């Protein structure tokens, strides 16, 4: 077994699954409400009924939790099936640790409570406040910083998943 090839395969599978989980599996409600707080509530309009509801901290946390669960489940299924198809046996403990890291870091990034979110604070501390707040020229700085955060942690998760991996 060539460990670098296993790592590359697992990283590719993880990255693809992450994009699917983040952009196709996540529902509109979770996408809009996951950053809600009592200090910065979110009003959600149901696209089918046009009913408007207002959501605070508890609903924001639930929406973010739901999104992170479906996101991580998407990764588990895609990486599990992909690894099997490629003849890679991922150690169950390494897989669980990688998925736990992915879940936790995704939740941390996606609970973007205005003024309190980890990504916003990191952007401020690293001199990237203007980029974080950029929403012009077809760009969204917070989105790009969010994506780069996820890519970094997915790489660490793939490294963890590679530990003790064997061929079938």
Q: What is the pLDDT of residues 65-103, one digit of tens each?
A: 999 999 999 999 999 999 999 999 999 999 999 999 999
Sign of CA dihedral 94, 17, 119, 129: positive
- Please state, for a pLDDT cut of 90, what percent of the chain lies above it: 92
| pLDDT average, residue stretch 52-63 | 98
| Segment 120-144, tens digit of pLDDT | 999 999 999 999 999 888 889 999 9
Q: Render pLDDT for 144-164 as a digit per residue (tens, 0 to 9).
A: 999 999 999 999 999 999 999
The band of 168, judged by pLDDT with boundaries at 50, 70 and 90, is confident
The answer to whether 110 and 68 are in contact (CB under 8 A) is yes
User: Which pLDDT belongs to residue 28?
Assistant: 95
Q: Are 68 and 103 in contact (CB under 8 A)?
A: yes
Q: Can you read off the two tokens belonging to residue 74? A: 């998407």
pLDDT of residue 143: 92
**pLDDT value, residue 32:** 95
Judge whether 99 and 75 are in contact, CB under 8 Å: yes
In the chain, what percentage of residues exceed pLDDT 70? Answer: 100
Per the listing, tokens 């980029």 go with 131
- The pTM score is 0.92
């Amino acid at each position: 077994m060539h460990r670098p090839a296993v790592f590359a395969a697992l990283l590719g599978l993880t990255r693809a699954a992450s994009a699917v989980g983040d952009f196709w599996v996540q529902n509109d409600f979770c996408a809009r409400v996951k950053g809600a707080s009592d200090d910065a509530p979110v009003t959600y309009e149901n696209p089918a009924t046009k009913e408007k509801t207002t959501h605070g901290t508890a609903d924001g946390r639930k929406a973010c939790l739901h999104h992170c669960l479906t996101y991580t489940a998407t990764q588990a299924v895609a990486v599990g099936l992909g690894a099997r198809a490629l003849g890679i046996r991922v150690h169950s403990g390494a897989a669980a640790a990688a998925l736990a890291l992915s879940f936790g870091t995704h939740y941390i990034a996606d609970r973007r409570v205005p003024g309190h979110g980890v990504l916003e604070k990191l952007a401020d501390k690293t001199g990237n406040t203007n980029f974080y707040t950029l929403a012009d020229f077809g760009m969204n700085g917070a989105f790009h910083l969010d994506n780069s955060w996820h890519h970094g942690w997915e790489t660490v998760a793939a490294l963890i998943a590679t530990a003790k991996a064997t061929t079938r």
